[in-house]
Structure 1
Amino acid sequence: MTPEDQKLVTLARSARARTQAAEGAAVRDVDGRTYAGATVDLPHLQVSAIGVCLAMAVSSGSSGLDTVVLLTPGRATPTDLAALEDFGGATVLVNP
């Protein structure tokens, strides 16, 4: 694992630990910017950790992703994988 990928793992772990969420994720976009987030599970809003990161990247004007890290007790959902394919994520590391 490269140092840049390790940075994403650290960001994902920190996001998950900070909120005690089920999942943590971090992404690096094609311009080198990083975004990290954790699962949002409110009574009226549920967003996966990958969904949070994708929303942050898209709303910041990113044109695509280079690397995605997901820390989860399970697997990435089909919806998250489809969204990553839509936006472009070359590498998905789950539970590194």
Structure 2
Amino acid sequence: MAELDPEDSKIITLARAARARVGAAEGAAVRDTIGRTYSACTVALPSLKLTALQAAVAAAVASGADGLEAAAVVTEAGEVDQDSLAAVRDLGPQAQVFRANPAGEVA
């Protein structure tokens, strides 16, 4: 894969940090259309379950973002699940979505 743009590398780093901070299954980060970033991890409560990307998109929306440029998820899964992709597409139909392993290597 070609070298990533520094801003794309940044959201992967933020996603890795979100995951590591709480030992979550996944970490994610998104960048909105004016360059602000939001990160989150998997939420697995008895009454609330969100993928990391859903949580990051929710943080962006709650902060007033009206679009996304890019998203990244750090996961051991072989692909980004459809619910996560749907959340990104709701706010950024053309946003690039990166999937990285826990070491930060983009697949």
User: Could you say which structure has the higher helix fraction?
Assistant: 1
> Is the TM-score greater than 0.5?
yes
The letter for the 2-side match of 1:36 is: S
| Equivalent in the alignment of 1:76 | 80
State the Cα distance separating 1:56 from its structure 2 match: 0.6
- Encode CA deviations 1:30-70: one digit per residue, 9 max, x unaligned: 01100001001112211110011110111111110001011
How big is the alpha-carbon RMSD for the aligned residues of Structure 1 and Structure 2? 1.1
Distance 2:54 2:95 in 1: 16
What's the TM-score, normalizing by structure 1? 0.93
State the Cα distance separating 1:4 from its structure 2 match: 1.1
| Equivalent in the alignment of 1:61 | 64
Distance 2:24 2:63 in 1: 24
State the Cα distance separating 1:81 from its structure 2 match: 1.2
Matching of residue 30 in structure 1 with residue 33 in structure 2: yes
Question: Of 39, 48, 52, which residue of structure 1 is paired with 2:51?
Answer: 48
| Structure 1, unpaired ranges of 5+ | none
| Structure 2, unpaired ranges of 5+ | 101-105
Count of matched residue pairs: 96
Distance 1:44 1:15 in 2: 21
Runs of 4+ in structure 1 displaced over 3 angstroms? none
